Structure 1
């Protein structure tokens, strides 16, 4: 390997790693902003949030990797052009294509790595992320006692306090116990108390002091009794326990989400698609059989008699071929048959639509495994010649240019995928349309960079238009 190749690889690796982690950090912040309401106030342990962020980061690689390749390639060749290093390389007899070869090898390695990641690692990350996010969103709010407000977070209990100190001490406590009281609550009032948890964290213990407990005896007869018994007991200190099992985050088995298409590799997607196609064929055959039975022509003499009869011809007016006394019954029977067909079709349409949508989605996800890898090559051949043309390094113009091209790529892919999901486009064509549209642009930019074209030189365009104006004036 030549020294010039090592120079180019080192010049590419540093901005690539920097931009990759910056983009990953930005996407992770977007994730936190989106799910912040489901994470705050639920008493999660710090490692649970870190685990969720870890799986979310793995899911964001599909967007961060192509953008990092585009941005770093523009920055690398822009810096080389700004420092006249590309001029020195070309003066040494090395063309731009030869200078791009070592980086192309690196991009090929990244492409293979991204394909293996999307096929083996990304489905597992999506599986873990989906199951953990489901548990997070379905976890109840943490038990927080606010002064002056009845809290009903604990099942069968309603708790209110007048004041709460910073050290956790409570004042003016009132507890309504609805557990096993046949609709008549048991009331506990205490002047002060302290809130603690048991060592295993399964129970909340309220250490109450100087209080009164009121309990009314339930009337089994169901009628009002003016002499109903009321129990009142005073206490100096008591410690009621409250079960906190409803506040624990139960971890769902990830295998429960394992049949979701984004959580499958190529083999799993193919297997699921074949299964869905078989289900759709079975459904179509069943619907066709049900409808055909309503239009079957019965002929009792066919096959059982040698009597030859000419077939009866029915003209445009079907009712004219039916005797007058049977027309009303025939119309009613036909109406019932049509109503039954419409009902069967209406009941089967949602299931048919779901099956078709799932089949399309499996095809989209199958192609996504390849487009993620190919997008790295495509954006490299856009970014590298573009950087050589604009000849600007750093985080200014290259960042704006890279984001602009990436937005074009992302918008085309998103719109085409949505059209494919709706059935307007072929799923294979939809997932590759961005590559098809931008490939000529990559070839054009590579050609312009090879011939040292002043594509973004303002003075060049000024001179060009001045020449046109002079020709018109003559």
Structure 2
């Protein structure tokens, strides 16, 4: 039976790679055709453009990894069915579960690749892709909170700025409140705060500090200018919208913990990114089983019927995934449920279709 396993596994992996090699260049050409005007207008250096296209390839492949796999499995399994090869396999005494084994082995290999891609390669690609996009293609787009920023830095400190300029690392109307045992111990005001990168300190203009002892007595300190080494980083003050996508899994876990302690309003968006790193590899198995169950039967309409059915399922899956992802990002809907619900629904569909295919 090893001959059968190698035959199907080879077709599984080669068809998937062929699908990637066919669609990714098409995606690159379409994307370039859409953005070529802005690229030429901004005189983008060739080296940066080449690196952007590489990052775009990894970003695009990670985004649609399961869909490429799903369509490739339907394609080559339909060919096996049309050539009556599946009938020959099953007629020789091979059970449908045994016939499915090389598909599961192939899905395991692809799922592992998807896991490595999502945990380590995709974050760096996403960072380069988004930085290029906002630098050359989407100039002026808002990627950070810059008005009325209020954040909890740690268990004791809260900061506020009425406005913040990321390019100059400068904020207006800065306030820091420090609490101990739910009691305000001191409060710092400044008309302007600026981060001096070379010295890693904050320069405060029109500095004013009110301190309170345990008896409520007040001490006032003021200065026209004062340099302070605060514990928070300037990037922590206003993280960019896509920052979760640029972090490896370990960094993302630490970042989410820190953001929860600060009371960030974007926790849903960050947790969607975290859960998708695991849900995508699982979806590889689910979509493989659905694809085999749908395309292993020879139909009167041939491969076209199977492909049409497969594309419909793929579009519905993408629709569910996007809708629930946006719902979790924009509301209090659980990110865990939002990310895993499509897999649960389509997992049930996979079991149903597999049961009918065995019959």
The two structures, once aligned, show a CA RMSD in angstroms of 2.5
- CA deviations on 1:180-208 (whole Å, 9 max, x unpaired) are xxxxxxxxxxxxxxxxxxxxxxxxxxxxx
> Match of 1:408?
316
Does residue 383 of structure 1 match 2:320?
no
Measured in 2, the distance between the counterparts of 1:82 and 1:408 equals 26
Does residue 59 of structure 1 match 2:42?
no
Matches within 5 A, 1:77-92: 77-92=77-92
Does residue 260 of structure 1 match 2:243?
yes
Matches within 5 A, 1:292-371: 355-356=264-265, 358-371=266-279
> Match of 2:127?
127
Measured in 2, the distance between the counterparts of 1:41 and 1:9 equals 47
Matches within 5 A, 1:267-286: 267-280=250-263
Contact map agreement 1:382 1:441 (CA 8 A) in 2: yes
Contact map agreement 1:114 1:373 (CA 8 A) in 2: yes
Contact map agreement 1:367 1:431 (CA 8 A) in 2: yes
- CA deviations on 1:4-46 (whole Å, 9 max, x unpaired) are 1111122223321221222323333443344333213333343
Contact map agreement 2:82 2:302 (CA 8 A) in 1: no
- CA deviations on 1:358-390 (whole Å, 9 max, x unpaired) are 111111111010111111111101101111125
Using the TM superposition, give the Cα deviation of residue 257 of structure 1 relative to its aligned residue in structure 2, in angstroms: 6.7
Measured in 2, the distance between the counterparts of 1:396 and 1:428 equals 36
Aligned residues: 261
- CA deviations on 1:273-315 (whole Å, 9 max, x unpaired) are 11112112xxxxxxxxxxxxxxxxxxxxxxxxxxxxxxxxxxx
Using the TM superposition, give the Cα deviation of residue 431 of structure 1 relative to its aligned residue in structure 2, in angstroms: 0.5
Measured in 2, the distance between the counterparts of 1:46 and 1:419 equals 39
Measured in 1, the distance between the counterparts of 2:314 and 2:297 equals 18
Using the TM superposition, give the Cα deviation of residue 96 of structure 1 relative to its aligned residue in structure 2, in angstroms: 1.7
Contact map agreement 1:115 1:373 (CA 8 A) in 2: yes
Measured in 2, the distance between the counterparts of 1:384 and 1:23 equals 22
| Residue ranges of structure 1 left out of the alignment (5+ in a row) | 140-255, 281-354, 452-474
Measured in 2, the distance between the counterparts of 1:59 and 1:40 equals 23
| Residue ranges of structure 2 left out of the alignment (5+ in a row) | 140-238
Measured in 1, the distance between the counterparts of 2:278 and 2:16 equals 21
Measured in 2, the distance between the counterparts of 1:25 and 1:425 equals 37
Measured in 2, the distance between the counterparts of 1:91 and 1:369 equals 40
Shift of the 430–30 alpha-carbon distance from structure 1 to 2, 3 Å rule, reads farther
Shift of the 3–135 alpha-carbon distance from structure 1 to 2, 3 Å rule, reads same
Query: Which residue among 341, 352, 358 is the counterpart of 1:444?
Result: 352
Using the TM superposition, give the Cα deviation of residue 435 of structure 1 relative to its aligned residue in structure 2, in angstroms: 0.7
Give TM-score, length-normalised by structure 2.
Answer: 0.67
> Match of 1:290?
none
Larger radius of gyration: 1
Does residue 373 of structure 1 match 2:356?
no
Measured in 1, the distance between the counterparts of 2:56 and 2:302 equals 29
Structure with greater proportional strand content: 2
Shift of the 434–138 alpha-carbon distance from structure 1 to 2, 3 Å rule, reads closer
Using the TM superposition, give the Cα deviation of residue 63 of structure 1 relative to its aligned residue in structure 2, in angstroms: 3.1
Shift of the 48–279 alpha-carbon distance from structure 1 to 2, 3 Å rule, reads closer
- CA deviations on 1:40-95 (whole Å, 9 max, x unpaired) are 33333433322211111110112332112111211222111111111111111101
SS of corresponding position for 1:127: helix
Shift of the 393–16 alpha-carbon distance from structure 1 to 2, 3 Å rule, reads farther
Contact map agreement 1:20 1:64 (CA 8 A) in 2: no
